[in-house]
């Protein structure tokens, strides 16, 4: 794990994790009286070299640090008591860290939150807060990895101002593959620092990122800390193009479509939903899609309007085998959702049209429930590690068994090199740090910085 330190006059920026690697961002901004942390991400690739969640779990932050999966950061973490059942709320009361800001709820940006020192307040966007709530409500009280006593009541919105000691933080809503993603303007004693988190310019909400760039134009930016996930073999597809391709598949009426994508990616779901709406098709959602997409519907009035526009509660149904669901919390959550949108038992379903969730789709094939020609669509990124590849191969074997061809229809959640170049040309920061990237130097040089 490579740590880098960047000194301004009274301010120091430390990239504890996330440099020269994709994932696990932890950025510290130190000022004379304390410091702030931006993202507390888990490096999933490193974690998965030793552990499998939840069957082979880790034993808390000390173990993660000793294996170099998480960086050593003074004052950042908790200590576990009672064999990992309880975080020690007395531990680290005197920490110099006065806040942790979460850019968005992808694991590589918040995954170490359960290990956080319970004396540090956490700031996140309102959307992230309710996604978090859904996660907490489904979580069991695992040892060494639970949400007990975390201070997660502080939320912000687009362009809120948060002042902590000498630092003023302004979050800007940006477009990414999960709703409620933010970049931060951090005004320090030594000028403005930008931390972008993950962002893109080619999604459905293009205007969000553009708005952020326009707001910053003309600002004197000392340091621009940007993601640089995509460098090589970049598939340059926009979300609108994804939507058109999906619509094309949906126009083939005599087919069952089985679609896999991230259940948190509301932009992708809107592409799927609007295409289904326009082609007169109906959607059956596996449990995890039913839970997360419906929670967007219930808790976010802006998203609800968009979902209503394409008949979410009319053309979509959950596929939930409620009698086999042993998890009480999950069952409660599903019952709550069902007062907004219905679900049906998969074994009692009649003619199923489009299915969200490849595993559920395959189960329905095994049960002989899908009667038409079948097409599978992977609408997510390709597997990026060995484990993912093994799982993918298994899926392909089952698809082969049922004579189902598969396609990939996807647009990335990350900025592409030419988009980044355009942004930097407009903002002209004094210096740049590229994180969340395997090629930080290549990008920096490409952008014209030494």
Residues found near Zn ion in the complex (CB under 5 A) = 106, 198
Q: By C-beta, is 198 or 287 nearer to Zn ion?
A: 198
Q: By C-beta, is 105 or 447 nearer to Zn ion?
A: 105
Q: By C-beta, is 16 or 106 nearer to Zn ion?
A: 106
Q: How far is the CB of 132 from Zn ion (least distance, A)?
A: 15
Q: How far is the CB of 83 from Zn ion (least distance, A)?
A: 33
Euclidean distance between CA atoms 438 and 309, whole angstroms: 40
Contact by Cβ (8 Å): 132, 105:
yes
Q: How far is the CB of 271 from Zn ion (least distance, A)?
A: 18
Q: By C-beta, is 360 or 436 nearer to Zn ion?
A: 436
Q: By C-beta, is 119 or 196 nearer to Zn ion?
A: 196
Q: By C-beta, is 170 or 262 nearer to Zn ion?
A: 262
In angstroms, the Cα distances linking 414 to 58, 175, 225, 385, 398 are 30, 9, 14, 18, 31
What six digits make up the tokens of 414? 């990350």
What six digits make up the tokens of 241? 């193009």
Q: By C-beta, is 134 or 333 nearer to Zn ion?
A: 134
Q: How far is the CB of 145 from Zn ion (least distance, A)?
A: 21
Strands 122-125 and 80-81: unpaired
Strands 431-435 and 97-101: unpaired
Q: How far is the CB of 388 from Zn ion (least distance, A)?
A: 16
Q: By C-beta, is 198 or 239 nearer to Zn ion?
A: 198
Q: Beta-carbon neighbour count of residue 111 at 10 Å?
A: 23
Euclidean distance between CA atoms 8 and 150, whole angstroms: 32
Euclidean distance between CA atoms 182 and 110, whole angstroms: 13
Q: By C-beta, is 25 or 115 nearer to Zn ion?
A: 25
Q: How many residues does the chain have?
A: 450
Euclidean distance between CA atoms 6 and 12, whole angstroms: 6
Euclidean distance between CA atoms 93 and 89, whole angstroms: 8
Q: How far is the CB of 403 from Zn ion (least distance, A)?
A: 35
Contact by Cβ (8 Å): 25, 41:
yes
Q: Which of 181, 179, 168 is nearest to 212 (CA)?
A: 181
Euclidean distance between CA atoms 180 and 109, whole angstroms: 13
In angstroms, the Cα distances linking 303 to 240, 296, 313, 409 are 18, 7, 13, 23
Q: How far is the CB of 420 from Zn ion (least distance, A)?
A: 16
- Helix 301-309 with 266-279: angle, nearest 10 deg: 20
Q: By C-beta, is 256 or 262 nearer to Zn ion?
A: 262
Q: Which of 423, 435, 432, 440 is nearest to 200 (CA)?
A: 423
Q: How far is the CB of 179 from Zn ion (least distance, A)?
A: 11
Q: What DSSP character marks residue 383?
A: P
Q: How far is the CB of 356 from Zn ion (least distance, A)?
A: 21
Q: How far is the CB of 128 from Zn ion (least distance, A)?
A: 11
Q: Which of 370, 409, 365 is nearest to 275 (CA)?
A: 409
């Amino acid at each position: 794990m490579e740590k880098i330190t960047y000194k301004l006059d009274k301010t120091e920026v430390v990239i504890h994790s996330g440099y020269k690697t994709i994932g696990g961002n932890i950025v510290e901004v130190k000022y004379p009286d304390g410091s702030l942390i931006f993202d507390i991400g888990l490096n999933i690739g490193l974690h998965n070299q030793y552990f499998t969640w939840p069957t082979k779990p880790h034993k808390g932050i000390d173990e993660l640090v000793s294996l170099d999966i998480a960086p050593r950061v003074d004052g950042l973490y908790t200590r576990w008591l009672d064999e990992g059942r309880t975080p020690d709320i007395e531990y680290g009361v005197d920490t110099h860290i006065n806040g942790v800001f979460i850019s968005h709820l992808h694991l590589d940006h918040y995954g170490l939150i359960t290990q956080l020192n319970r004396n540090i307040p956490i700031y996140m966007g309102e959307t992230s807060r309710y996604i978090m709530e859904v996660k907490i409500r489904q979580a069991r009280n695992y040892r060494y990895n639970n949400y007990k006593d975390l201070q997660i009541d502080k939320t912000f919105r687009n362009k809120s101002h948060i002042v902590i000691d000498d630092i003023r933080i302004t979050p800007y809503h940006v477009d990414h593959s999960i709703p409620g993603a933010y970049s931060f303007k951090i005004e320090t004693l030594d000028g403005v620092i930008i931390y972008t988190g993950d962002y893109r310019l080619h999604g459905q909400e293009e205007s969000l990122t553009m708005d952020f760039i326009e707001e910053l134009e003309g600002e004197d930016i000392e340091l621009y800390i940007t993601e640089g996930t995509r460098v090589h073999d970049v598939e340059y597809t926009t979300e609108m193009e994804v939507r058109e391709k999906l619509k094309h598949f949906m126009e083939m009426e005599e087919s069952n479509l089985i679609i896999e994508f991230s259940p948190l990616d509301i932009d992708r779901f809107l592409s799927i939903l609007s295409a289904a709406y326009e082609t007169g098709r109906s959607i059956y959602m596996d449990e995890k899609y039913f839970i997360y997409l419906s929670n967007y519907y219930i808790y976010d009035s802006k998203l609800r309007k968009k979902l209503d526009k394409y008949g979410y509660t009319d053309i979509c149904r959950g596929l939930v085998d409620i009698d086999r669901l042993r998890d009480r919390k999950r069952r409660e959550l599903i019952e709550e959702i069902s007062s907004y949108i219905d679900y049906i038992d998969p074994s009692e379903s009649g003619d199923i049209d489009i299915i969200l969730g490849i595993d559920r789709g395959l189960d329905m094939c095994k049960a002989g429930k899908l009667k038409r020609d079948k097409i599978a669509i992977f609408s997510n990124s390709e597997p990026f590690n060995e484990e993912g590849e093994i799982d993918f191969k298994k899926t392909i074997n089952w698809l082969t068994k049922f004579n189902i061809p598969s396609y990939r229809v996807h647009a990335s959640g990350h900025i592409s090199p030419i988009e980044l170049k355009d942004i930097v040309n407009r903002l002209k920061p004094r210096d740049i740090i590229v994180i969340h990237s395997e090629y930080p130097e290549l990008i920096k040089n490409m952008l014209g910085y030494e």
